[in-house]
Amino acid sequence: MFPGNEPASRQAMVKENFANSGLALFETCMAWFWPSWRIKKHMVYEGLDILHQLESEHKGALVIAVHSMNLELGARSLGEVTPGVGVYRPNNNPVYDWFQLRGRTRHNGAIDRKDVKAMIHHLKQGDRVWYAPDHDYGRRRSAFAPLFAVDKACTTTGTSLLAQAGHAVVVPFSIVRSRRGGQYRVTIHPPIQDFPKDTHAATVVTNQAVERLILQAPEQYMWLHRRFKTRPEGEPSLY
């Protein structure tokens, strides 16, 4: 994934990523069960004026994020100051799904990822819809676009669909845990200007944004997901 890095550097990142995988369990519990005052105590916000400006203009914001290990905490922290609607996949285990939905809707709404009409409706209403386009969701509604060292990564075209149909502004979002002090930097990045209407071009631009978000703290990203499992017809598996 980072062929230009020295082997020792990559090995150190792998080791740190495993440590972050363990911390993710605690961070998820923090997101779902901590009171608001305790969440805010550990957050430093940047760029909230971007969302406030869009709200004043009655423009929907498609807030794109990546699956960092602390994504649950990211969604909760953003909901504390600028509530929105998160897109999620219901869990197959009904008990876990109850806890997951309850935790995620303390300050935000939630939409099943299959309910595209609801997402578009919220965007047209000027709401914020939190969306993560960085995973491999299979061939349906996807295109192959470069992502880091892989020139053909199966990428959802949902970002393009939602942005166009919902007349929304695409706004990147990230949360990064600092190495000391137990603080988190929650950042609303500048909107993507002139987001392409062409579907394939939109996936390229989306993946470029995803790269920038991951590079905020690559050791905190969910690399355990098999991001490149779907390959173009006739090409061998990367795993």
- Tell me if 234 is assigned to some domain: no
What is the extent of the structural domain holding 128?
7-220
Please give the pLDDT value at position 96.
86
Is residue 229 one of the residues assigned to a domain? no
Q: pTM for this structure?
A: 0.90
The CATH number covering residue 195 comes to: 3.40.1130
In a domain, 230, yes or no: no
> What percent of the chain stands above pLDDT 70?
98
pLDDT band at 1 (very low <50, low <70, confident <90, very high): low
* Per-residue confidence (pLDDT) for residue 170, from 0 to 100: 98
Residues 11-32 have a mean pLDDT of 91
Assigned domain for 2 exists: no
Residue 80 lies in a domain: yes
Tell me: the pLDDT tens digits for 180-207? 778 999 999 999 999 999 999 999 999 9
Res. 4: pLDDT tops 70? no
pLDDT in tens, 40-81: 999 999 999 999 999 999 999 999 999 999 999 999 999 999
Question: Residue 236 falls within a domain, yes or no?
Answer: no
- Mean per-residue pLDDT, 156-179: 95
- Provide the domain count of the chain: 1
pLDDT mean over 112-129:
93
Percent with pLDDT over 90 in the chain: 74
Mean pLDDT of 10-21: 88
The answer as to whether 227 is a domain residue is no
Cβ atoms of 47 and 187 within 8 Å: the answer is: yes
Average pLDDT over residues 77-91: 89
> Averaged over 216-236, what is the pLDDT?
93
- Specify if 228 maps to a domain: no
